[in-house]
Amino acid sequence: MKTWVPAVAVWGRTAPSHSITAVMITDDQQTIVTGSQEGQICLWDLSSDLKISSKEILFGHTASVTCLAKARE
């Protein structure tokens, strides 16, 4: 069962900058993952009609995210 969880903005009126330095798409082609120069990782939903919407933003890296890779099963 897939549970839908809405994205929540916690940064007030202005979103943090996100200068993309790395991009990855999942095998099911439904999620795009971006890494940024600011050390953030963002998850984006990709619909079948190619609309992109924000899902989550992850903070905590102290350096730029310059590479993304999926874990092996």
Task: Report yes or no: 44 and 52 within 8 Å, Cβ to Cβ.
Answer: yes
Q: What is the pLDDT of residue 50?
A: 81
Residue 8: pLDDT over 60? no
What strands lie across the sheet with 31-36, from one edge to the other? 20-25, 31-36, 41-46, 52-58
Q: What is the pLDDT of residue 22?
A: 92
Q: Where are the domains of the chain?
A: 20-59
Q: What is the pLDDT of residue 48?
A: 83
20-70 residue pLDDT tens: 899 999 988 899 999 998 898 999 988 888 888 888 888 888 899 999 998
* Strand-strand pairing, 41-46 and 52-58: antiparallel
As a whole number, mean pLDDT of residues 6-27 equals 72
